[in-house]
Amino acid sequence: MIGYMEAGERSLTVKWLRKIAQALDTTPGLLLDCDPSVVDSDVVVLLSRANSLQRRQLGDIARALLRESSEG
């Protein structure tokens, strides 16, 4: 699945973000947390080029994480 996401054939979903975070023994929030002053410029460029669907999906993920953190 990660290969499909890297190839742009599939989009990152909340479900997969949680699975990846669990596999890496971290939290979804830490996987998404990016400080432009310390992140590689290639990552910032990729995020800035996200299309409207990708931006909407990132918003959905952020809302899910906020809900999860306020419930926990």
Predicted confidence (pLDDT) per residue in 13-58, tens digit:
888 888 888 888 888 777 777 555 565 666 556 666 778 787 778 7
Using a CB cutoff of 8 Å and minimum separation of 24, what contacts does 36-40 make? none
Give phi and psi for 37, each to the nearest 5.
Answer: -75, -15
Alpha carbon distance 1, 37 (integer Å): 30
The first and second tokens of residue 39, run together, are 């992140």
Instruction: Tell me how far CA of residue 68 lies from CA of 44, 53, 62, in angstroms.
Output: 26, 22, 10
Residue 59 has a pLDDT of 73
